[in-house]
A and B are shown apart, each in its own frame.
Chain A
């Protein structure tokens, strides 16, 4: 998946991969986080 130059909506999960962790990865491949949220399903 090429995320370079793309706006990315990030929804993470507390006990899985949280939003900020995904944000770091998205930025590292040139994507722009447009929204970062973490959810807790319990």
Chain B
């Protein structure tokens, strides 16, 4: 529980005493205005006023007071040690997700165990049909293969991690129903318990989730958010909504959502892409929907700034390395042009390639058409498969995974 001192309480009291402010317009005049606006063919004439938009760049310095324990396997200690606001929120979420996240954390394999695992079930890199590290671009051979989005969560259950299963036969709904139950997210250092919620069925223009109400328990807002995010990432490309029903076709009570019979799938957009390093040693790209202070991104420059912010408590790595500076030029429509200043870490290396890929995805989420990246004082013309000073195509998917047979 957050504690306030006397001065804080005084501020709260003063805020509560702010005067009531009322419109100067009478009810009748207000109605006339509205009626007029709602009349067909009426041309809207909003008065323009200038307002300064509060900046979003104010960094709330998150006191990182805790050196996170290896592999995040001791959540109770993590809760005790984290004493800033983010930690408080996380602790609450962790408590709210109750046993589910604890079970997930217990199930995470230690890195050493993974290393001795001789027959890994999943391949996450070195694909012959994918040129990059963490994305599939239209010119990749893998882009022509069936792609199925599977949404895992990091083990803190704070960040969704969309995976793209490639080279699978059949449609995604069958895959979700038949194979996800046996998908071992723990091998990738992730958790995916949110998939235990029912059976999907596909109509012409819709998908329906028949909830197994005995298994599903969405009691907290955190769980509700996860549930919603998972559905959004899985289906928003193909469907505007997912219908929800119980075994007998009835609407379902889903905790904070109330009784629901469908979910509208808001478009996943305006994201900052970063990376999560999992306990298994895997590295995955992670879409982030808000800044560290919880604000959504409005313009791409905010997202780019956020991409430079790691979240060590949750093993989230910055996609743009610390200390790297750049100039962003958005003057050409549909184009993100970034010119990076000289920096020791930048070059034809894995870190820079990962940075490029995260930037491409971020630009895509803001509906840009392509990205041009230049680098000052550097004697190379490409980074990984990505040419400098050239319009780069935007990826079609992230985090490719194949299931070894």
Please say whether chains A and B are actual partners in one complex: no
Chain A interface (Cβ < 8 Å from any Cβ of B): none
